[in-house]
Structure 1
């Protein structure tokens, strides 16, 4: 409730001319706002009060910390009333200059075309539709333009200091969600590529994926077993299935195959990003370029996928390690064995990526329509959208994933007849019905929320450690 009240004072106040000389009414509105944010009424605002009061604005913790750091002239870690009003006065002056630069036709309003031009001038090519989505997050009155008051209110507590900062903020607000998904890498400007920012981002994503996969590895192993063997090996509920695994190989057996699952993240991410950077020059549709990049990466690392499945299904003592597993497969089944299940794997990329992306965009766009004038969705909204969209993508592509895993698990000597994808599909439907195509789906769905949550939390903390905040700048970098 306090967060909503906090934005009332200037939402309806007069502009008062230029930002560098606020009139008496504006000073009064700042005083009222300060009083509402000062929860313990000690005459000072700390980072916790600022976060609580502005919780519904979707601002990152680092952004609010920068507000305190910038305004805290006496370095006591809090903002008194003088520091608070001085920060707002100075920041409004900067925002006014940025607004003027963005308003190319000097009509006092910013439209979607001007937003698109701004991003393109910094090397980020977005469509007019995406620019309109950005506009809708700021446009309070539904005019499909942004006036000075809307611009000021939206960015007043976002510590952006120049147009490059604004471009980066917008770029990540519309593309970070896509970049977080497996198929479509993020867009990066030339400056970010030269500065090393790109690889810090990719490193953060790889580490987040490693922790996420490790945390949900027992559920993933159970899924693979049920995909290949049905309920013949592990009957009953999840707990009894895990107990059976531990009885056969001890507690570490729950993580069999996870090492390879983690190891393949780095090469897949690097190949995918490199391929995407080249493909987007030839294919101007981001989804198509991202899907092709994903297919290239999967082709390159697919032998690791087969090794992961075999190591996940192994019995105690069957392989001494990754190298021994690869050696046995090569000697017994030949090189072609490392591409078993390749066709259904490729076929599953488009439905998964397409539905995942479409559902995510639909949910986020619906949120923006229902919350016009607010900042982009906060952490919980984005995590929720990611979990729902990932689930829908999995449901659409799961039958193909099941066939792929079964083909990967087939241990047949060289020259032995190999069942085709269609033969396996027909056999499952004949024996178990259509429901058989979704066996193992329950542990897969159970891991969605913890996987998304773990991935997000680790990703954000890793970016802080690597010195990159949500606006895409090095932490502690001097103001532009």
Structure 2
């Protein structure tokens, strides 16, 4: 069967209807704001920056807006480019794209997906339920999506069709070859680092309250969070609420960088350089990368706990605290609590990943719109928040024991116990609930932390010129 042609007697009518839909004020021109709002109304929420790309390519007279002639010329050029992409996908030249051809397209670019995953992608464009994509379905789906070649399309499918999974503290981001070659990966890491710094600073008082309740468990039984906050203010004033936050922010850069580099190397060992990891493999690679990063930066974790617990005037700063620990307790003090910290990575990463994937796929199967497989930012934030909460519930006892071990030498009269002995000691004196001291302020900071991170992350990406990727 002959492939599709660009001859279309209804083309001018289609272009005119689309232009009128975008030209909300009916002044005969479409500006950047109208493009942004129009693309959002058309369901193109997964293509941040598309309006700038369309305006840059179509605005031939450089007046900052598109008239109908410029808009028509842009769409004609888009259709020509889309036809070339369609023809490259339609390998058997029957005028339709099926699931096997989508799978072959991924394989030709070094990415392995299953037929089930290819079917998900196809269903996001299939309007007539034939489980194939004809030229008109392909054209209408991508007409205002400024992708330049099949590698861009595959990357878009891989992220926006949710083949990739949401990110957690334990599973690093997975960047494409194009993003790594272009240097986009470091912009993503920088945006994430700034977002993390702002988020941690904003929720630092809750984080310090959590550490105090974890360490002073038996003495804090019955102590309300508000009373704990008042005690911190009375002891050290407003600034005391941010004790330990400085090093908490400083460790973001080395931890993220080490985790990313380790993840890339482990990924190559597991599946090869050009392939995408399955969920189980991401869990293994992410856990190992997290363990490596934690091993390298763990002394900073000990310092963070000690600085959060310090009394007013006890240390002049981070270096003074480190020298004091080294002088009075020796180098081994910087590894206290390392074992429960390492063990906590596995339940956190596994449960976080499994719950996120389950919630996301359930939403896609039940509520996915007919024209898009993108669940949107709010759904992904909700999935990430719930999955992170579940992961924290499972790993929290290990986190509490880790913090207690990190703080043992700084608490007068505190026994120096091993991990298992400390578990028994807490359960005997405080009961099972003693393993969850401080979990309330920990949960209270999840939603603001995620929200702050997302807002700052998106704004940083705009500043750095990074296109949107729905990975949290």
Same fold (TM over 0.5): yes
Q: 1:392 aligns with which of 369, 390, 414?
A: 390
* Correspondence for 2:304: 308
**CA-CA distance at 1:430 after TM superposition:** 3.2
Confirm or deny that 1:434 pairs with 2:432: yes
**CA-CA distance at 1:385 after TM superposition:** 2.0
**CA-CA distance at 1:311 after TM superposition:** 0.7
* Correspondence for 1:258: 245
* 1:142–1:22 CA distance, 2 compared to 1 (3 A): closer
* Correspondence for 1:23: 9
8 Å CA contact retained: 2:352, 2:391: yes
Cα separation, 2, equivalents of 1:321 and 1:106: 70
* Correspondence for 1:52: 37
8 Å CA contact retained: 1:58, 1:375: no
What is the alpha-carbon root mean square deviation over aligned residues?
Answer: 2.8
* 1:84–1:381 CA distance, 2 compared to 1 (3 A): farther
* Correspondence for 2:331: 335
Q: 2:318 aligns with which of 318, 322, 326?
A: 322
* 1:471–1:408 CA distance, 2 compared to 1 (3 A): closer
SS in 1 for 2:417: coil
* 1:412–1:72 CA distance, 2 compared to 1 (3 A): closer
Confirm or deny that 1:444 pairs with 2:439: no
Confirm or deny that 1:374 pairs with 2:361: no
Cα separation, 2, equivalents of 1:142 and 1:60: 25
Q: 1:151 aligns with which of 131, 135, 138?
A: 138
Q: 2:295 aligns with which of 299, 303, 306?
A: 299
Cα separation, 2, equivalents of 1:214 and 1:116: 44
SS in 2 for 1:45: strand
Query: Bigger CA drift: 37-46 or 127-136?
Result: 127-136
User: Counterparts of 1:85-234 in structure 2 under 5 Å?
Assistant: 85-124=72-111, 130-173=117-160, 178=165, 180-230=167-217, 232=219
* 1:420–1:252 CA distance, 2 compared to 1 (3 A): same
SS in 1 for 2:293: helix
8 Å CA contact retained: 1:351, 1:393: yes
**CA-CA distance at 1:344 after TM superposition:** 1.3
TM-score (norm 1): 0.85
TM-score (norm 2): 0.87
* Correspondence for 1:41: 26
SS in 2 for 1:59: coil
* 1:254–1:95 CA distance, 2 compared to 1 (3 A): same
* 1:19–1:437 CA distance, 2 compared to 1 (3 A): farther
**CA-CA distance at 1:231 after TM superposition:** 7.5
Cα separation, 2, equivalents of 1:214 and 1:177: 29
Q: Which whole-Å deviations, capped at 9, do the CAs of 1:311-358 have from their partners, x for residues lacking one?
A: 111111111111111122122222222111111111111111112112
8 Å CA contact retained: 2:166, 2:356: no
* 1:42–1:158 CA distance, 2 compared to 1 (3 A): same
User: Counterparts of 1:6-21 in structure 2 under 5 Å?
Assistant: 18=4, 20-21=6-7
Q: Which whole-Å deviations, capped at 9, do the CAs of 1:110-167 have from their partners, x for residues lacking one?
A: 3445444434544555565554444443344455443333322222221112223223
Unaligned runs of 5+ in 1: 1-16, 473-480
**CA-CA distance at 1:179 after TM superposition:** 6.6
| Higher RCO (CA < 8 A, seq sep 6+) | 2
User: Counterparts of 1:391-410 in structure 2 under 5 Å?
Assistant: 391-410=389-408
Cα separation, 1, equivalents of 2:219 and 2:451: 32
